[in-house]
Each structure stands twice: as C-alpha cells, then as structure tokens.
Structure 1
Amino acid sequence: MTTDAATPLTALDVMRDAPVIPVIVLHDVRDAVPLARALVAGGIRMLEVTLRTREALECIEAIAKEVPEAVAGAGTIRSAADAQASALAGARFGVSPGYTRSVGKACHDLGLPLLPGVATGSEIMLAQEDGYTELKFFPAVQAGGINMLRAWGGPFNDVKFCPTGGVHAGNAEEFLALPNVACVGGSWIVPTEAIAAKDWARIEVLAREASQLRR
C-alpha cells in the first residue's frame, strides 16, 4: 500500500497495513520525527498520535511534512473541532475513544477515515447506521476482551475491530487470531521511558517485533 498523501485511504487500509497501530503520546515536538522514522524503519507506518498533549497537533504536522513514508493519524478525537484541527495538521486518519454522530459526520465530511471507539452492541449499531464498519474496541481488555469479540462475531460478523486498551506483546497474537480482528492498538512499542531517553533504536526493535506478529 502506498503512503502517498495524494492517495485516499480507507479505514480498512489503515487496519490492514500492519498488525499493530502504535498509540503515541508526545510531549516534545522534537521527538516526533525521529520516533516516526524509527517506527517506519521497524515496519510500522500507521501512527496514531493521541490528542492528549498540547503538542500533539504540532507533532502530527511535523510527521506529515518530514516523514513521507509514515501515515500520521490523530487519536483521542472527541469532537468535530478535534477532527477539523487534526485534518488541518495533516492527519490522514482518526481514532476516537467513543462514538458520536457529530464526530462521525465531521470525519466523513473531511474525508478523514475514522476508527470509532465502541464498547457495547448499541454503540456498534449506531456506528454502523452511520456507515462505519471498521471499529476500535476500547477499552478492549476491560470491556470483555477476547470473549466479547468472540460473542460479537455472530451478530456483527460484517465488522472488523482494532482492540485497544490492555493489549500488549504477551496477548496481541491471541487477539489477532480472531477472524473479526484486523489489527490491534497498543502503546508497548512506544514506551514512555524510551521516548524520554530518545532510544529510537529500541523503538525500532519493538516496532519490528510488532510488525511480525501473526494474524
């Protein structure tokens, strides 16, 4: 799959590119580009930079401009304004912790592929009504984990999930083995201490290991 910014993406493109989407929290814009380069070198190109810090949008912009091999995305989208600001910064996909129709409409109108967060059957149905069939299951482990995904496989067999929350190197392949799981989201490949230490070599190794997980 090309990462050319001129090529439209779908949510399924984002989910299928690698087994793991890293959930990234950045506090220093200077870390954004070397982190993105380390992840890409390890085989991870879809990068979810969460809007949990004041620097997040600037980090997305830096990655979008300086690391063309990466696909910068915005996580923790909670409002239409978040979606608009993310798209303006150069994000090419969005991820939300939950789902509201205003967020779904904003992303649709912006042409921003969205992985909406769901934790219940009713939330899945609401997202599907609005045309979303690739969803983030969050918080995955806390909301029922693998057993919940197996249960959803019957009534929601046309939905693909990206479980996030409590997923780590030790359980990722168990999630990825499920037929309704296209990828997982996790922060274990971008540990806070490695970013603080600017240990990009370690992050590249973690990304490479994650990119080779079976699914």
Structure 2
Amino acid sequence: MMANLFSSFDPSSNWNLSLNWLSTFIGICIIPSMFWIIPSRLNFLWIKIISTLHKEFKTLIGGNIKGSTLIFVSLFSLILFNNFLGLFPYIFTSTSHMILTLTLALPLWLTFMLYGWINNTIHMFAHLVPQGTPPVLMPFMVCIETISNMIRPGTLAVRLSANMIAGHLLMTLLGNTGSMLSTYMISMLIIVQLLLLLLESAVAIIQSYVFAVLSTLYSSEVN
C-alpha cells in the first residue's frame, strides 16, 4: 500500500534526488541504435508522421516558414515520447508535473509575445480588439483579450499535466482495490485496467498533438 495517494507522482527517489528531468531523457538511452542507422518500417512510419505534421503546421502558420515547423514537430515528439514512457511500470511520468509543462509552454509563449510586440506592434494591438466590436465595448474587450492572452501558457501546461494525472490516478485507485476483490472481480478489474491503458495511450497522442497545434496557432497570430 502507498503511504500517500499521490506518491506515484513523486519524482524523488530513495536518495532524495529529483529524477524529474532524468526520466524525461532516459528513454533516449534505450532506443536501439539500428533504428537510426538503417531505415526500418518503424523509421518509415515515423518519417510519415513527421511529414504529415509538417504539412499541417505549415498550413496553420502560413506565409514564409523556412523551417518554422521544426520546433513544433520536435515539441510534439518530445511530449509524445514522455507520455508513452510514463505508461510503463516504475517509470515516472514527467509530463504530469507543472514544472516540466510550464518549462515547455512559458518560453514558447514569451518568445512569441516578444517577437510580436517588437516587430508587429500594430498587428498585436489590432488583436486586442476583434473586428466589428462596438466602441462602447472596446475597453472591456481589450481587458478580456489581454487576460486570455496572459493565461495561455498556464492553460497549455495545466491541460497537459491534468490529463496525464487523471488517467494515472484512476488506474492507481482501481489497482489498489485488487487485494480486496474476489477472483472473478480481479479478472474484471484487469480488463478494465487494460481498457484504461488503451485510453491513456490515446490521451498521450491527443494531448501531445493538442499542445503542438495550439503552440503553432499562437505563433501564427504574431506574424
């Protein structure tokens, strides 16, 4: 039994060392080197996924890209890899902590804002007042748009971490009831856990895609 319900999300080890970032990059060490040397079916599949993402991000950004989609494809790959890594037993899910998700979201948003306000100041001011807004409502719309713009990195970070925690927490709660169930109920519990694991795999893909797409959309607004 766990001493604390949320202890499964604690990145500290028995030596009181924070392994948050170590668990983020440890999977790179176990990727077979042959995957990078000789093109395999998995390699071709991954190239196809990257090409599809590149075309979609190119459409979202628009205009002159010249490699602008590379950072968003890399962001998608990093988040997807760590989301799936957290589905394995005894591996900490680094994307379930705000320290990692905010580290990814905040610099991106801050970079977009600095670039937009320095190079396209008039365009950024125009975004604060939607087209067709009555003059009476303009001050309120400026406040609303400013607040919604300021909370963007927070919503990106919270959305990713909350979705990763929710499924893991549900699986942990169901797994802790196994010792009190009968043989028949344990078999049903295993089936439910497998279905939840399948759902978590889908959530891992969807959340990494949503994070990358929203970051792309935020970047397209400053051009």
TM-score normalised per structure 2: 0.24
The structure that is helix-richer by fraction is 2
Relative contact order: is structure 1 or structure 2 higher (C-alpha 8 Å, sep ≥ 6)? Answer: 2
Structure with the greater alpha carbon radius of gyration: 2
The structure that is strand-richer by fraction is 1
